[in-house]
Amino acid sequence: MAKIKNILFLCSGNSCRSVFAEYYAKWLKNTSYKNNLREINFDSAGIRHYFETPREGTINYLNSKGISVEGFVAKDITEELINKQDLILGFEARYHVRKLKRKFKHIENLDGKVFMLLEFAGQEDNWEIEDPIHLPSEEYNKILQVIEVGINKSIEKIIKINKSE
């Protein structure tokens, strides 16, 4: 894989999982990985956004870590956005990865840059991360914790890939 500079997190509506992933990754870039992620850009989008702002559960979880989502605006995935990315990480095969590949099948080399987050992170199986939108806060937070682990492992992998290039 070539050097990775632009990473997009993709979910259904760009209001829970992808927002969390984007802002958590940006926070890691500015704290734990200042030197290694200096040239890396993180973004998020949805197959089709339903809300203009992040869901309360996502905001609360990020706030508990001292991370603000101020200024966030939800957006839909577009061809232009895809073409800017070196890596696109989804959370569900059927609703994110397959829909993206079907909708934008005309884009060259899409298969080489679209993965499930936990697949890219190196998890052996069970790559699906359900949408927490209507779950109680305890279950909602457990899902975001799974994403956290996936992002940490993915960032370590990205750093190794970029150092080898």
Residue among 111, 150, 130 at smallest CA distance from 21: 150
pLDDT at 1 over 90: no
What is the torsion angle, in degrees rounded to the nearest 10, for the CA atoms of residue 146, residue 33, residue 100 and residue 121?
Answer: -50
pLDDT of residue 140: 94
Q: What is the pLDDT of residues 130-151, one digit of tens each?
A: 989 889 999 999 999 999 999 9
Indicate the DSSP class of residue 76. Answer: B
- Threshold 0.95, pTM exceeds: no
pLDDT at position 49: 73
Burial 57-82 (b: 16+ CB within 10 A, else e): bbbebbeeeebebeebebeebeeebb
pLDDT digit string (tens) for 84-114?
Answer: 999 999 999 887 888 898 889 899 888 889 9
Domains and CATH numbers, the chain: 6-164 (3.40.50.2300)
CA distance 89 to 87: 7
Task: Note the pLDDT of residue 97.
Answer: 85
Give the tens place of pLDDT for each residue, 17-53.
999 999 999 999 999 998 899 899 999 999 887 777 8
Contact, 20 vs 56, CB < 8 A? no
Give pLDDT, residue 99: 86
